[in-house]
Amino acid sequence: MKNLLLTLAAASFVTGSVIADDKIAGAKADAKADIKIVITGNDTMKYDTETFEVTTGQVVALTLKNIGALPVQAMGHNLVILKPGTDIPTFAMAGMTNQPGGYLPKGGDFSKLIIAKIKVLGPKEEETIVFKAGAPGDYPYICTFPGHFALMKGVMKVKAK
């Protein structure tokens, strides 16, 4: 499992910036998490978890597992957490042709909408990101693989302490 630590301060949730923190990064990064969330994606374009709740300031280890069998070129899955209020169809459609960039939109204001992301995974692959929950709100998450966003979506609810 590949771990990546993303520290998202309250200001980061406003600006969309992501700051790596080498103090906790590494193979044991998720051990420092206050809460661990595991979400699976499958060959029927579904996440098994459509909502999860965290509290402002919590360190969250979020793992995505692709439990499908189809090849990544046909049924890859990722997980992208976006700012509240993001126009999901516009965001997803803008990235549909950017296969080398993980089907994320290129340039413009789109990058400012991304709070955290897990790369496109093939069958039986998984990745974990670790981040600190920022400002309260409902943060949508989607799979940006072409055509998946309509079915593969959810909400990370950040509650105040």
Residue labelled with tokens 């890859």: 76
Separation of CA 92 from chain center: 13
Compare 14 and 142 and report the one with higher pLDDT: 142
pLDDT attached to residue 73: 96
Lowest mean pLDDT among 10-14, 23-27, 111-115, 139-143: 10-14
Task: Assess contact for 159 and 37: CB atoms under 8 A.
Answer: no
Distance separating alpha carbons of residues 100 and 95, to the nearest angstrom: 10
pLDDT tens, 27-68? 466 778 999 999 999 999 999 999 999 999 999 999 999 999
Q: Where are the domains of the chain?
A: 2-159
Amino acid 59 reads: V
Superfamily for domain range 2-159:
Cupredoxins -  blue copper proteins (2.60.40.420)
**pTM attached to this predicted model:** 0.84
H-state helical runs in the chain? 10-15, 72-75, 88-95
